[in-house]
């Protein structure tokens, strides 16, 4: 049996679909108005999109009120690279949960930890969707479009 190591505590558990609902759900809903879309409904909605999930053309997915990431998680499960996944949420704990949930999926999809961290830092942010500047950052590709 290993001795307890106070200097290297175990990492926190990776949130699953069941873990991202707070214990005090009613007061949180009253305070923030957040309601999470169940994964079954998310997948039904994603299946209705006119999108070639097999060939994964480069399209950007933005959830302006991502909560704990249900839409973004299901998109990542379909193999979309973190470069194309964006989320904003009012609550920092929701952003943190979304990042953790996406981390394992992207790793399983063969994306490097450096790539994941780079894109999550830039693409998953805390903010108010009603006032947030959704430009995220300037890129040559965007300048050509605008």
Q: Strand, helix or coil at 38? A: coil
Q: Is the pLDDT score of 83 beyond 60?
A: yes
91: Cβ contacts below 8 Å, ≥ 6 apart: 32, 34, 126
Residue 9 lies in a domain: no
What percentage of the chain exceeds 90 in pLDDT? 54
Q: What CATH code is carried by the domain that includes residue 51?
A: 3.40.50.150
Residue 2 lies in a domain: no
Q: What is the pLDDT of residues 33-48, one digit of tens each?
A: 788 889 999 999 999 9
Q: How many domains does the chain have?
A: 1
Question: Looking at per-residue confidence, does 10 or 44 come out higher?
Answer: 44
Structure confidence at residue 140 (pLDDT): 53
Residue 127 lies in a domain: yes
DSSP secondary structure string, 92-126? HHHHHHHHHHHHHHHHHTT--HHHHHHHHHHHEEE
Q: Is the pLDDT score of 144 beyond 60?
A: no
Residue 53's pLDDT band (cuts 50, 70, 90): confident
Q: Averaged over 16-34, what is the pLDDT?
A: 64
Segment of 6-10, 131-135, 140-144 carrying the highest mean pLDDT: 131-135
Q: Averaged over 3-28, what is the pLDDT?
A: 53
Question: Looking at per-residue confidence, does 37 or 2 come out higher?
Answer: 37
- Which tokens in the block code for residue 119? 């894109």
Domain coverage including residue 97: 36-145
Structure confidence at residue 62 (pLDDT): 93
CB-CB contact of 86 with 124 (8 Å) = yes
């Amino acid at each position: 049996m290993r001795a307890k190591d106070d200097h290297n505590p175990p990492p926190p558990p990776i949130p699953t679909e069941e873990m991202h609902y707070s214990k005090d759900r009613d007061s949180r809903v009253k305070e923030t108005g957040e309601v999470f879309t169940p994964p079954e409904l998310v997948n039904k909605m994603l299946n209705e999109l006119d999108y070639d999930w097999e060939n994964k053309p480069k399209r950007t997915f933005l959830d302006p009120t991502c909560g704990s990431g249900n839409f973004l998680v299901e998109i990542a499960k379909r193999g979309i690279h973190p470069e194309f996944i964006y989320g904003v949420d009012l609550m920092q704990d929701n952003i943190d949960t979304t990042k953790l949930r996406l981390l394992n999926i992207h790793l399983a999809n063969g994306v490097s930890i450096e790539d994941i961290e780079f894109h999550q830092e830039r693409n998953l942010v805390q903010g108010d969707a009603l006032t947030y500047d959704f430009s995220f950052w300037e890129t040559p590709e965007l300048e050509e479009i605008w």
